Amino acid sequence: MDYKNVIVEINDGIGVLKINRPKALNALNSETLIEIMDAAKALESNPEVRVVIVTGEGDKAFIAGADILEMKDLTALEGMAFSQRGHDAFAALENMQKPVIAAVNGYALGGGFEVALACDFIYASEKAKIGFPETTLGIFPGFGGTQRTAKLAGLAKTKELIFTGKTIGAQEAYDMGLINKVVPHDQLMSDVMALAGKIKANGPFSIRLAKQLINRSLYMSTDDALMLEAKDFGLCFATKDQKEGMTAFVEKRKSTFKGE
């Protein structure tokens, strides 16, 4: 697929998916949602790619939300189609078995912040501005925002953010537990690339299992999750990565993992 609204770059095992509509502050129209879904699936199935970074083109926005101009006059049926495209794109991102890091480089509002929340975790520029303006438009966050925010920040903080529609800065979002790290604006991509490089050096299969387990455990009892943990832990010993990792330790050398 030729992309108009996203840019995909793959460099040394790290895939960067950049939303590329800077004139509209990277707002998510239907075309962009379809391209995100296609690009996420392509990155997932590319064995060369071990870590994915999602970010926004330009200096001002990660994603300023769903495209209000497109949504404004939708009929109910068109609204359903738009919603389906959103769900497809979000599912493709969230279900990636590889680690996905959001590098939030500016405005991450509404559906834009929901994209970041669908990633495994968020690094943000000190200039980032985060919020859910949906209630100012007569809707509420419908791409997982109510659920994922509450899991990270708790019910009360989430309700305040959504009920007010206010925009908060990166530091406040960090203090609420929504993002992992705030970094100087000019350093954002280099810091996230370095972080991705560090993750990339570790056993891909073990990271994939850990990611699945952590995500699934949200919907399981602790007993069931611990049982699955024991099984998946055992599964690691069926991989060449485990043999390589432990042999490398004993031989006092760096391990070279192949994800096998």
State which of residues 2, 47, 69, 76 lies at the interface with ligand DAK (CB under 6 A): 69
CA distance 152 to 179: 9
| Window contacting ligand DAK (CB under 6 A); options: 107-115, 185-193, 198-206, 223-231 | 107-115
CA 157 vs. chain centroid, Å, equals 21
213 in contact with ligand DAK (CB under 6 A): no
Catalytic (active-site) positions: 114, 134
Q: Comparing C-alpha atoms, which of 60, 218, 36, 66 is closest to residue 132? A: 66
State which of residues 6, 14, 49, 65 lies at the interface with ligand DAK (CB under 6 A): 65
144 in contact with ligand DAK (CB under 6 A): no
CB 123 within 8 A of CB 195: yes
68 in contact with ligand DAK (CB under 6 A): yes
255 in contact with ligand DAK (CB under 6 A): no
CA distance 209 to 98: 10
SS3 at position 248 = helix
Q: In angstroms, what is the minimal distance from the CB of 181 to ligand DAK? A: 23
109 in contact with ligand DAK (CB under 6 A): yes
134 in contact with ligand DAK (CB under 6 A): yes
Helix (H) or strand (E) holding 254: none
Q: In angstroms, what is the minimal distance from the CB of 77 to ligand DAK? A: 12
Helix (H) or strand (E) holding 80: helix 76-94
110 in contact with ligand DAK (CB under 6 A): yes
Q: Judging by DSSP bridges, how do beta strands 51-56 and 14-19 pair with one another?
A: parallel
67 in contact with ligand DAK (CB under 6 A): yes
- Binding-residue total with ligand DAK (CB under 6 A): 21
Rg (CA), the chain: 19
143 in contact with ligand DAK (CB under 6 A): yes
205 in contact with ligand DAK (CB under 6 A): no
76 in contact with ligand DAK (CB under 6 A): no
36 vs 195, beta carbon nearer ligand DAK:
36
| Window contacting ligand DAK (CB under 6 A); options: 24-32, 117-125, 171-179, 234-242 | 24-32
CA distance 115 to 90: 7
**Which runs of consecutive H residues, i.e. helices, occur in 72-221?**
76-94, 111-118, 145-153, 155-164, 170-175, 188-200, 204-217
61 vs 195, beta carbon nearer ligand DAK:
61
Q: In angstroms, what is the minimal distance from the CB of 66 to ligand DAK? A: 4
CA distance 243 to 206: 12
CB 229 within 8 A of CB 220: no
90 in contact with ligand DAK (CB under 6 A): no
Residue 91 φ/ψ region, left for φ over 0, alpha for ψ in the -120 to 50 degree band, beta for the rest: alpha
CA distance 227 to 223: 6
Residues in the site for ligand DAK, rule: CB under 6 A? 24-25, 27, 64-69, 82-83, 86, 107, 109-111, 133-134, 137, 142-143
